[in-house]
Amino acid sequence: MFSIGFAHEHGPFNRRCFGEEGKMTSVGRRDSSLVLALMVAISICGQALGDTLRIGHWEQTTYYRHTFEAEEGVEAALRVTAVGDYTLYINGAQAATDANWQTAEETLVSLESGNNDIAIAVTSFQAEQGNGLLVSLEGGALVVRSTFTDETSLWYWTGDEQVGTDWTTANVSGSWDRVRGGTIDRSQVSGGIFHPETEAVAGYPNAVNLGSSTDGRIVLADQRGQNIALGLNASEVGITDGRIGTPVWSLPQGLGALNRVADLTLPDLTRINRVRVITKPPDGNETYEGNSLQGYSVQISEDQSRWIEMGGLNDIEDFVFTEVQFNAVLARHVRVQVTQAEVGSDPAKVTEVQIYGVDFVPDGAFVSQPLDFGDADAVKNFGRVRWWADTPPSTSVALQFSTGDSPDTTDGSWSSWSEPFEESDILMPSPEPRRYLRYRVNLHTEDL
């Protein structure tokens, strides 16, 4: 965890005259996590302004998408809340908006026969507690809810800016990331009764989490709700490629499947607490029941010489996917071993094995919006930069800067990011004078 603040003093005189003065906006806090206070005394028109501008908030927008199928057109009750200022769209039309996560909005929406699209844009701020959103739709026999665990109901997110409304109905399954677990205290949410299987979901742009139990903090995202097995080396080809359906781990028929194993290797010792096994969707005359394992155990090892069983399932009736949960434990190797089969049973087919953990990611970054310091027209010198940070052992914080003359950071006036600076008290490394400044705070930890 980190705590940081930094101050920015005025530099050489600016040759252009503008009358705007700096304004105090907010004050950062020191805490056990990262807190930033940017203080800038701007030099304009040959004089250093007397007021100090403090920027002590974090802000970023995350976009969410989900597509579902309705057998027929129906009126459905929509319930939603999100940590931050959100706007929700149904099939491209705005359906709900609010900025208070402690009140759930409820409204009736019209769904179409066939595919329907849910889209939500959420802008989060440091003053919020938690991260993510809750959504449920109920109409007749139809139930749709936000989830990061149901492989038959996939939700996606991105931190890339979305312009216009085309993104609200676009197919994003191949370009956006799968959602992860969010953090919303549902006991503090009033005004709506969500479906009981509704889960808080979230995305974490640049691997940082703006929500925490204490206002004003920014922390590295953890791996909760993230499949850390994706792309791992495995003894069975295809079971970690993220593709539901093919290729598969195809087991022998009947008793020949007993004691067969699939081994997965994590890149480092990692604390894990959940392993999920996903059945191949049926083709032709196949069924989920016929393709499903009947029973298996999950074992872990640090060095492949000693294996410890963490749990298992037998007489499986949840044929689409199952999972074994256990207290977090350090593991480098994970094994799924078949423990139950019957004479003449169909060959089981596993399409994915997923692993979930609780560690923090090792690296993350927060990138500010372009800052104009109250006057977008004034060209400014930014001068010297100082900051302070609490960096416990095995952690580090490094700052980078960029300057430009347009609020659009793709504009050619913007400089490249400066080299990262871990030591405080430096001259502004980016070109001056400029109208806008932005900064990037890079977080790193080896204490996972």
> Rounded distance, CA 103 to CA 189, Å?
5
User: Which residue did the predictor score with more confidence, 320 or 42?
Assistant: 320
| Alpha carbon distances (Å) from 3 to 83, 213, 354, 401, 420 | 23, 15, 34, 19, 18
Q: How confident is the model at residue 217 (pLDDT cuts 50, 70, 90)?
A: low
Residue 254 phi/psi, 5-degree rounding, is 60, -140
> Rounded distance, CA 321 to CA 409, Å?
44
Q: What is the CA radius of gyration of the chain?
A: 26
> Rounded distance, CA 261 to CA 223, Å?
26
pLDDT in tens, 163-202: 999 999 999 998 999 998 888 888 889 887 898 889 999 9
pTM: 0.72
User: Which residue did the predictor score with more confidence, 45 or 412?
Assistant: 412
Q: Please give the CATH topology (third level) of the domain spanning 233-357.
A: Jelly Rolls (2.60.120)
> Rounded distance, CA 401 to CA 420, Å?
8
> Rounded distance, CA 270 to CA 359, Å?
7
pLDDT above 50 (res 364): yes
> Rounded distance, CA 288 to CA 98, Å?
41
pLDDT in tens, 382-409: 777 777 666 778 888 899 999 999 999 9
Q: Identify residue 320 by its one-letter amino acid code.
A: V
| Alpha carbon distances (Å) from 366 to 104, 206, 219, 428 | 29, 7, 10, 19
> What is residue 216's predicted lDDT score, i.e. its pLDDT?
53
| Alpha carbon distances (Å) from 229 to 14, 113, 243, 309 | 54, 36, 12, 19
Q: Which of 3-17, 68-82, 157-171, 238-252 has the lowest mean pLDDT?
A: 3-17
Our measurement of the distance from residue 57's CA atom to the centroid of its chain's CA atoms, rounded to an integer in Å, reads: 19
Ordered by start, the domain boundaries in the chain are 3-57+363-445, 59-214, 233-357
pLDDT above 70 (res 135): yes
pLDDT above 60 (res 214): no
Q: How confident is the model at residue 448 (pLDDT cuts 50, 70, 90)?
A: low
> What is residue 212's predicted lDDT score, i.e. its pLDDT?
54
Our measurement of the distance from residue 217's CA atom to the centroid of its chain's CA atoms, rounded to an integer in Å, reads: 16
Q: What is the dihedral of CA 121, 127, 130, 133, to 10 degrees?
A: -20
- Residue of 308, 317, 437, 335 whose CA lies nearest to 42: 437
pLDDT above 70 (res 338): yes
Instruction: Give yes or no on whether 59-214 and 233-357 have one common fold.
Output: yes
What are the residues whose beta carbons fall under 8 Å from the beta carbon of 329, sequence distance 6 or more?
271, 272, 273, 300, 308, 310
> What is residue 386's predicted lDDT score, i.e. its pLDDT?
75
Tokens of 81: 């809340």
pLDDT above 50 (res 428): yes
What are the residues whose beta carbons fall under 8 Å from the beta carbon of 439, sequence distance 6 or more?
38, 367, 368, 399, 400, 401, 402
For the ranges 29-38, 54-63, 156-165, the maximum mean pLDDT occurs at: 156-165
* Yes or no: domain 59-214 corresponds to CATH 2.60.40: no
Tokens of 309: 């069983």
Q: Which of 30-34, 144-148, 234-238 has the lowest mean pLDDT?
A: 30-34
pLDDT above 90 (res 416): yes
Averaged confidence pLDDT in the chain: 83
Q: Are strands 133-139 and 142-145 parallel, antiparallel or unpaired?
A: antiparallel
Q: Which of 118-122, 141-145, 352-356, 365-369 has the lowest mean pLDDT?
A: 365-369
